[in-house]
Amino acid sequence: MTGMADWNQGVGTLSEAHRNGLAALLDNAKCGWKQLATAAKDDPRFRCSESELTNCSLQVMSCDGSPGRSLLDRLTERGCTLAFLLQCLRKMEHHQALDYLTTAVEQIQVTEHPQAQQVPEGSRVVLSCRASGPPGLGYQWFRGKEEIPGGNAPDLVVPFLTVAEKGHYICRVNHGERCIFSNWAPVRVIRSGNSSSEASSSFFSATSGLRITYQPVHQSLSEGEAMLLQCFAEGNPPPQYQWYRNKEPLASATRNKLKIPCVTTADRGKYYCRVYNLYHETRSNEVNINIGPSSMQEANWKYDEEDGSMGPGRQLGNFYATDKVALLIGNMNYLYHRQLRAPMADVHELTNLLRQLDFKVVSLLDLNRQEMHSAVTEFLLLLDRGVYGLLYFAGHGYENYGNSFMVPIDAPASYTSEHCLWVQWVLQRMQERQTDLNVFLLDMCRKRNLNDDTRPEPGPWKVTANIVFGYATCVDAEAYEMNKDDLSNGIFISYLKKRLMKDEKVTVMLDKVGEDMGKCRITQGRQALELRSNLSERRALTDKIQSTDCPVTSARNLQWAIAHVLPESRTLHFECGVKVQLGFAAEFSNLMIIYTRILEKPKEIDHCTAQLSDFSEDLEIDLKHTNQETLLEAGSILPIAQLLPQPEAPKLFTRLKALQRLKKDLTFTVCLHYQYSNLEEELQERQTVTIGKPLVSKLNLHEPRAAPASCSSSSSSSSFDFNSSSLTEGMFSSASTSATTTCWTNYSQPGSGDTMSEVSPTTGVNLPEENLDTDEFQTLSAGKSLPCTRGDDLSYRFSNMPDFHSY
């Protein structure tokens, strides 16, 4: 270090690029921004409240958001110094961030040195020097010890080289009082009187240097987009190229252009190109490639912060996934059974945590039988060799004779297996996909269903050693949820969310969750985690994704981006001169919020509001959740309001649920109510808006699906036959059922690489971890109970939450 003077400067003195780079290293769960916030609490000035930490975590809901950058900005505003930040990083033992910050503050690095030149007299000579370091670097060229007037740019151009201008050249790069020098570059002159052979030899030697004429640039992309990096150089012999990511060479990346058609989060990192020929070599500038989520959960308004990327995690045994996909289903609003409270919060938090582990997540609330079957069938088609798959269900359930059943929201009062989804059928189908890891978590009751006497039997099981199967409770027991504040968790997720991000074998992690649950006094003797596994390898949910050029992966990423895109924000112009903004955000894959905001109105108009009405007939609309002044009044209890632009500007919110039932393009009317200051009568103008099929409505989950494969069963197996007469058409035509198909098309061959397609993750919210001491369980109720139990016989309390009323 050159002295403490530099370190006593504020964090804000770091360049924008360095703050973004540091934030990228902090955007991970194992050693990241949360740990930095904890370390910073040593100084009361930098202590963050729970609300501020929640606000930071909410940045993951935007594809351009970064929790780490948000926390750094808060520390900057409070006058945090670089020295204190360095101290916190040391306390965290975040060595990568320590090295990065030290380099950013203390070092200027020459990335391109000037090359030796030997050219004929009168020729044009260009000497180049490039350096990285703090913003505002200064350059000064020297010939010998003499400073060259005007030579204060990275490139020194000598239009007509003379004998007097030969010599050794060097460039000084400085920032304030700190400076560094490039290598010496001898420049020799070939006189016209030299022999032709000498001139030819000298010319060949002179032009054997290298000069990069076009550098790659930083990029921020969403998954599914194409990445193109370019590097051009001049030299003789012709230059050759080799691209690197995170200092590791990329196989077959040996051209001046590096293109990845459909990027994933595994492609995030720092890239540069090594350029070389027979005599020399140099390297391009190192650039950051940030890969954020698709627009699945992104509010459709601008949010101008750089996206962060997770730092590389420790690998348990050098295991990698070719991709990670997850389906989360939470059923709450049952038509004929007691409604539940926890599934929304459970799915919401699990979505966010899995997304931080680079899972592509689709989260769905309140599915009927057909929708559950279609969603699970489509999820099975995403599984293939090398993929990590995770399926989570929260809702009512039961178990008879070792067979478990997930209950959809439309199950009748005395339901049987034919009204439900058979867990063992799903598990066997998952196993057949030949994935590297299948995790199936059931957060539901396992009591007997006295209305059902069927005993279905699955077909023969294969030995795959890839299954982790977890129940939130044991046989003949209930799973409980906790009533606390407005967001209620089930007991299982309350403990799982504390362990999920740990870099441990998934079975070890779940065993520790079970141990934690066993210490909860209030549930002892009532609920205990049961885990079954045949996983033979030390695979963890934190294992990184190893990118692949397989077109199946590209198809998956592309479909994920397409099928979960939000409508574009738009501005409506009314004849009276009022401009209305129409924006969109998503809480879950099948739940969208529309907001209207008055952008501009003439002075003579006293007041005006823009309300939505006349929605498409096939969409279920709860009128009390339309045109509300707050998100809470619109039925949303999740903390997403911070993502909205200009919080002080009045808005009206409309919350649309069950988008999976939308059969046609979503159409509605925007009705502008306004009143002139000199008139008592209220006037109206109306505009009809069509926004297509948003989010998962493109997947047509309301349509029957063909099962990927059938299993043999007893005579009761007819309960599990599904109508497969109609299949969803893909959004893109394809000459064959090849890997380039970009839709959730239905194929029937398990394990086939041609069955891949994609869904998008929701952008969940990081919520502060709750302290689950027993005294905080204000009310404990059976979350998923025995089907024949009367709801009014149970002790259950609802807070004032309008979105949990039955339809």
- Give the HSE-up count for residue 256: Cα atoms under 13 Å, Cβ half-sphere: 12
CA distance 703 to 618: 14
Q: Which helix (H) or strand (E) holds 518?
A: helix 506-518
Taking the alpha carbons at both ends of the chain, their separation in whole angstroms is 66
Which 3 state secondary structure label does DSSP give 570? strand
Query: What is the spatial distance between Cα 500 and Cα 351, in angstroms, rounded to a whole number?
Result: 11
User: Would you give the DSSP letter of residue 297?
Assistant: S
What is the rounded distance in angstroms from the CA atom of residue 27 to the CA atom of residue 60?
Answer: 9
Ordered mean pLDDT values, 10 residues apiece, the chain (807 residues) = 55 83 87 90 85 82 81 88 88 84 74 84 86 81 90 88 87 83 86 47 46 85 82 83 91 88 82 86 88 45 34 51 90 88 87 87 90 88 86 91 90 89 88 87 88 78 81 81 66 88 89 87 80 88 75 57 76 91 86 88 89 84 84 74 53 88 90 88 90 86 64 34 30 28 30 33 32 38 38 29 28
Cβ 280 vs Cβ 128: under 8 Å: no
Task: Extract the tokens encoding 656.
Answer: 């649309």
- DSSP string of 397-458, one letter each residue: EEEETTEEEEPPTT--TT--GGGSEEHHHHHHHHHHT--SEEEEEEES-----TT-------
Predicted local distance difference test score (pLDDT) of residue 229: 92
- Predicted pLDDT of residue 673: 92
Tell how strand 591-600 and strand 605-613 pair up: unpaired
- DSSP states of 110-171: EEE----EEEETT--EEEE-EEESSSS-EEEEEETTEEPTT--SSEEEESS--GGG-EEEEE
- The DSSP output letter for 12 is G
Cα 627 to Cα 678: distance, rounded to the nearest angstrom: 26
Please report the pLDDT score of residue 483 as a whole number: 62
> The sheet that has 651-656: what strands, in order across it?
570-573, 579-588, 591-600, 651-656
| CB 558, CB 759: distance < 8 Å | no
Cis preceding linkage at 154, omega within 30: no
Active-site residue set: 396, 445
Q: What is the reported pTM?
A: 0.54
Q: What angle do CA 382, 470, 587 make, to 5 degrees?
A: 55
pLDDT at site 686? 92
Whether residue 119 contacts residue 174, with contact meaning beta carbons closer than 8 Å, is answered with no
pLDDT at 97: 85
> So what's the pLDDT on residue 487?
62
* CA–CA separation, 583 and 596 (whole Å): 7
Dihedral of the CA atoms 416, 420, 425, 431 (nearest 10)?
A: -150
Q: Residue 328 has what pLDDT?
A: 93
d(CA 483, CA 54): 20
